Amino acid sequence: MSIQEKKCFSKDHEETPSFYCMECEIYMCKNCKDLHSKLFKYHKEYSLDKDINLIFNGYCKEKNHLDKLEYYCKTHNKLCCSACIAKIKRNDKGQHTDCEVYVIEDIKDSKKGILQKNIKYLEDLSKNIQTSIKELKVLFGKINESKEALKVKIQETFTKIRTQINEREDELLLEVDQLYEETYVSDNVIRDLDNLPNRIKSSLDKGQIISKDWEKENKLNSLIHGCINIEDNLDYINKVYQIMKKSKNEMKTNIKFFPEEKIDVSKFLDKIVKFGKIYKDNELNEMR
């Protein structure tokens, strides 16, 4: 009987089963499954909709095969039904016609011997595996610590590089300000130059007035004071004027940044891009 023809194990339920318990070897409807789960919470319940290929009920699951699994194919190490070993290959039958096939009872002792060997192997493996797992976990923990330490080292290295680059950038920017101030006219001088024509005109007008009143004895001290102011103002005007003439020549001087060519910058960036390498111990000599 195929799974599709099975009924719920409870005689009180006529519903088509939806679940199967491998340990109890029973089919269950939804209500029985809920009760079964409470009673046997460690039993594995298979859904007939999703897990049907995982359920072993003693019958062949090949398409169009409804026979009980009574044969063993040694060639494929697989249980077969009579349809699987049919001599005529037709309608999904006879897949194992040319294989080395035995009746299940004939391979019982052979499989028991293999089972005993596997049990012994699993027992030994069970003893060793726990120790190996503990050792592996310790080693894995150390490896993770090593990985994090390596990442920290990389971060520290590149932080130093970035810090040094930023400091060098600040130094060059400050140097630009100082060099421009030493080489070219300052902002203050430019502002003074804007006032220079007015200062010249003011001194000229004042000098002409003093010149007209020069013979007035009662104003002599005032006239002399005016002359002194014009002389002081003229000293400042000449100073600014000389700076202006000097600056006109210095303005022709170009201040540049090296490396200024794209190819030079690219070479430097190539070194940065390729800086650093992650390697294993046995690869160190090859890198050198």
Q: What is the CATH number of the domain that holds 45?
A: 3.30.160
Per-residue pLDDT at 90: 76
- Does 281 reside within a domain? no
Residue 42 lies in a domain: yes
- Residue 201: inside a domain: yes
Please report whether residue 106 resides in a domain. no
Residues 62 and 87 in one domain: yes
Q: Are residues 65 and 45 part of one domain?
A: no
Residues 2 and 43 in one domain: yes
Query: What confidence score (pLDDT) does residue 75 get?
Result: 93
DSSP states of the chain:
--GGG---S-TT--SPP-EEETTTTEEE-HHHHHHHHHH-TTS-EEETTTSGGG---SB--STT--SB--EEETTTTEEE-TTTT-SS--TT--TTTTS-EEEGGGGHHHHHHHHHHHHHHHHHHHHHHHHHHHHHHHHHHHHHHHHHHHHHHHHHHHHHHHHHHHHHHHHHHHHHHHHHHHHS--HHHHHHHHHHHHHHHHHHHHHHHHHHTTT-GGGHHHHHHHHHHHHHHHHHHHHHHHHHHHHHHHTT-----SS-SHHHHHHHHHHHHT------GGGHHHH-
Residues 7 and 25 in one domain: yes
Q: Residue 1's pLDDT is what? A: 47
In a domain, 151, yes or no: no
Task: Name the stretches of the chain with pLDDT < 70.
Answer: 1-5, 51-54, 184-190, 192, 246-253, 260-263, 282-288
* pLDDT score of 189: 67
| pLDDT reported for residue 138 | 93
pTM reported for the whole predicted model: 0.45
Residue 120: predicted pLDDT: 92
Whether 37 and 67 share a structural domain: no
The pLDDT value recorded for residue 113 is 94
Domain hosting residue 244, numbered range: 186-250
* Number of domains present in the structure of the chain: 3
Q: Give residue 101's pLDDT.
A: 93
Do 68 and 49 lie in one domain? The reply is no
Do 52 and 15 belong together in one domain?
yes
Same domain membership, residue 223 and residue 203? yes
Indicate whether 155 belongs to any domain: no
46 with 78, same domain?
A: no
In a domain, 259, yes or no: no
Residue 241 in any domain: the answer is: yes
85 and 50 within one domain: no
If asked whether residues 202 and 246 sit together in one domain, one would say yes
